[in-house]
Structure 1
Amino acid sequence: MTLSLEFKEAIWKTAVSVITERVRDARHVLHELQESANSETKSTAGDKYETARETLQQEINREGNRLHNLLQTQAAVHTIDPHIGCHAVKMGTVVETDKGVFFISVSLGKLTVASKQVVCISLDSPLGIALLGKKSGEKITVNTQSYFVQNVI
């Protein structure tokens, strides 16, 4: 496969879309939980009410943390300029190896872009750390798995 800036931009747009959808879903769930907590009425069984209220509050806190993390992920991906090519791996590069194509950005997992599998990984991941600064033609090993860098853009 030949990597191009157009392919890189398509990967970036797909990643932005996935994150935006996750943010929207998290906001919706958080809103629903808050509505549920607000409509909770105090019953004569006070302990049951307090337990239910505490459980809801814990869910609200968890979902709030999830939303916060997603917003940080969204901000990180928006710092990437998909129109700029690179010759060495850094944040925002697309790396083609003999094991697959990786988008060094945020940890999103596998995406399908233009009928091709692309794995979005964080620069802080073991593979991201090992790839940092590498250029086409270089080889790395992570957890006994060897990767040959074929192309970087």
Structure 2
Amino acid sequence: MKIKNELLQACYNYANKRIANYKAEIETIKESIESNDKGGDEDDDSGNGKLFNDLEKNSQHLSEANKMLDGLKNINANTVSEKVIAGSVVKTTSNNFFISISAGKIDLEDSSFFAISHLSPIGMLLLGKGKGDTIEFNGNTFTITEVI
């Protein structure tokens, strides 16, 4: 269970860092809009238009990052299942996966894990599978050697 807790914490750190970055970017954009409004030429809206677009994009990214965080809250690192579920650590003949959020590669001690969403293409292939099952992804065949 230690490995699950460490992977879950790494995913929390990833999501929280994204949230903090988007919030900071949104504040910077808001400040730029305000300073443009105070001292700008009324005929020049092109700068604010781009800023409003950036604000909207960052707000959408912030919403997605908050959804990631909410998804992590549904994972119990102490849950044990023989079949792959959200929160499972899946070791295969090729790669190791943590079914959680799409957070990329996480290195722990002497192993690497890919934090993937259960909604990702490979995540959907792994769900419900158990030790000894095989999946094919992008022309590669993986055999599950362990589900934690």
TM-score normalised by length of structure 1: 0.91
| Overall identity of the aligned pairs, in % | 24
Residue 25 (structure 2) aligned to one of 19, 26, 29: 29
C-alpha displacement of 1:115: 3.9
1:43 aligned to 2:40? Answer: yes
1: CA distance between counterparts of 2:57 and 2:81? 38
Q: Which runs of 5+ in 1 are unaligned?
A: none
Q: CA deviation at 1:91?
A: 1.0
Deviation at 1:116, TM superposition (A): 2.1
Instruction: After TM superposition, give the deviation of residue 43 of structure 1 in Å.
Output: 3.2
Per the alignment, do residues 16 and 43 of structure 1 end up closer, same or farther by CA in structure 2, a change over 3 Å counting? closer
CA distance in 1, matches of 2:17, 2:35: 27
The match for 1:9 among 5, 11, 16 is 5
Which residue in the other structure is 1:99 paired with? 94
Provide the alpha-carbon RMSD of the alignment: 1.2
Residue 74 of structure 2 is matched in structure 1 by: 79
- Aligned partner of 2:128 in structure 1 is 133
Mark the runs of 5 or more structure 2 residues left unpaired by the alignment.
none
Residue pair 1:14, 1:113 contacting (<8 A) in 2 also: no
C-alpha distance in 2 between matches for 1:64 and 1:138: 41
Post-superposition CA distance 1:67-117 (Å, at most 9, x none): 000000110011100111211001111100011110011111111123421
**Which SS does the other structure have where 1:19 is aligned?**
helix
Amino acid at match of 2:46: T
Q: Structure 1: how far apart are the matches of 2:20 and 2:71?
A: 17
Question: What is the alpha-carbon distance in structure 2 between the residues aligned to residue 8 and residue 67 of structure 1?
Answer: 26
Contact 1:95 1:151 in 2 (8 A): yes
Q: TM-score, normalised by structure 2?
A: 0.94
